[in-house]
Amino acid sequence: MAEPGDRPLPVGSRVVVRHLIEDGERATDTVGELLGATEDELLVGGRHGDVRIRRSDVVAAKPVPDRPWRVAAFLRRAGVAVLDLDGVLLHARVESLLGALATDGTPVVLLSDDTDRVAAELEEIGLARCIPMLLDTHDLGAAKPETEAYAAAHAEIERRLGRRVAPAEVAFTDDRADHVDAARAFGWRGQVFTLPR
């Protein structure tokens, strides 16, 4: 489908469509997923439901770039990136992020309460070489979400890296807000894990 400006807008893409309303008196923008397109109209799934837009009312239409993944941007600014894998699924985007962090030279630490299973999964998907540190939370001597667990993890990170690491250098993500809050209480920077939309 081509719109004004001859830019193709495939069904399923995220778009912004400027169109006339109130008998052409005003224009408005509708942002959302292009659900359908006919010769006469566009169907856009927006925040407030589906919107039918007559093609004759379309002033402009263009694709909207994907939103940046906040968790990825957060971890890429880290001196050391720590992910709690009990709450962070090995999703394709997570796998890609882990590889990118390793390529950038950012030390990556995975926390888990089942390191044997996680190590085997990482090996199976080819990421074992990217993850230099896999810490078993049971071996740290304190249960999450207690601040002591993050202090013990921090000490182990410093030991394995062979250098001092300021707590503020560490960016931590988990899908549980109470774990993120406890990590922040220790001094790490924390963000609740969400997948990109």
- pLDDT over 90, % of the chain: 44
Give yes or no: residues 94 and 174 share one domain.
yes
Count of CB atoms situated within 10 Å of the CB of 90: 14
Give the residue, 118 or 162, on which the prediction is more confident.
162
**How many domains would you assign to the chain?**
2
CATH number at residue 142: 3.40.50.1000
pLDDT, tens digit, 9 for 90 and up, residues 17-56: 999 999 889 999 999 889 999 999 999 998 788 999 999 9
pLDDT, tens digit, 9 for 90 and up, residues 137-158: 777 776 677 888 899 999 999 9
Residue 9 lies in a domain: no
Output b/e per residue, 46-80; b: 16+ Cβ within 10 A. Answer: beeeebebebebbeebeeeeeeebebbebbeebeb
The residue range of the domain holding 53 is: 14-63
State pTM to two decimals: 0.65
Q: Residue 106 has which token pair?
A: 């950012």
Residue 3 lies in a domain: no
The amino acid that residue 28 corresponds to is T
